Amino acid sequence: MDCINGRLGGGGGGGGGGGGGSEDAPTESPQQQPAQNRRVQAFPPAAAGGVGSPASGGGGGGEPSRSRPRRQTLNRMRVYKATEKDCVGGGGEPQECVICFEEFAEGDEMGRLECWCKFHRHCIREWWDKKGVGACPTHQLQE
DSSP the chain: -HHHHHHHTTS-----SSS-HHHHHHHHHHHH-HHHHHHHT-HHHHHTT-TTSGGGT-S---HHHHHHHHHHHHHTSEEEE--HHHHB-TTSPBPB-TTT-PBP-TT-EEEE-TT--EEEHHHHHHHHHHH-TT--HHHHHH-
Tell me if 52 is assigned to some domain.
no
Examine the domain organization and report whether 79 and 33 are in the same domain. no
Does residue 71 register a pLDDT over 80? no
pTM of the predicted structure, to 2 decimals: 0.47
More confident residue, 43 or 59: 59
Q: Give me the domain span that covers residue 108.
A: 63-142
Mean confidence (pLDDT) of the chain? 66
Does residue 128 register a pLDDT over 70? yes
Examine the domain organization and report whether 74 and 132 are in the same domain. yes
Does residue 124 register a pLDDT over 70? yes
Tell me if 71 is assigned to some domain.
yes
What is the domain count for the chain? 2
Per residue in 54-70, is it b (16+ CB within 10 Å) or e — as a string? bbeeeeebeeeeeeebe
Tell me if 34 is assigned to some domain.
yes
Examine the domain organization and report whether 132 and 68 are in the same domain. yes
Examine the domain organization and report whether 71 and 134 are in the same domain. yes
Tell me if 54 is assigned to some domain.
no
Biggest CA–CA distance in the chain, Å, is 84
Tell me if 51 is assigned to some domain.
no
Tell me if 85 is assigned to some domain.
yes
Does residue 30 register a pLDDT over 50? no
The residue-averaged pLDDT of 79-95 equals 94
The residue-averaged pLDDT of 101-121 equals 95
Percent of the chain with pLDDT over 90: 33
Tell me if 104 is assigned to some domain.
yes
Examine the domain organization and report whether 16 and 79 are in the same domain. no
Nearest CA to 138 among 110, 108, 114, 122? 114
Of the spans 6-15, 113-122, 131-140, which averages the highest pLDDT?
113-122
Does residue 51 register a pLDDT over 70? no
Examine the domain organization and report whether 80 and 114 are in the same domain. yes
Q: What is the pLDDT of residue 39?
A: 41
More confident residue, 22 or 132: 132
Tell me if 101 is assigned to some domain.
yes
CATH of the domain at 123: 3.30.40.10
Examine the domain organization and report whether 41 and 109 are in the same domain. no
Banded pLDDT at 135 (limits 50, 70, 90): confident
Examine the domain organization and report whether 41 and 73 are in the same domain. no
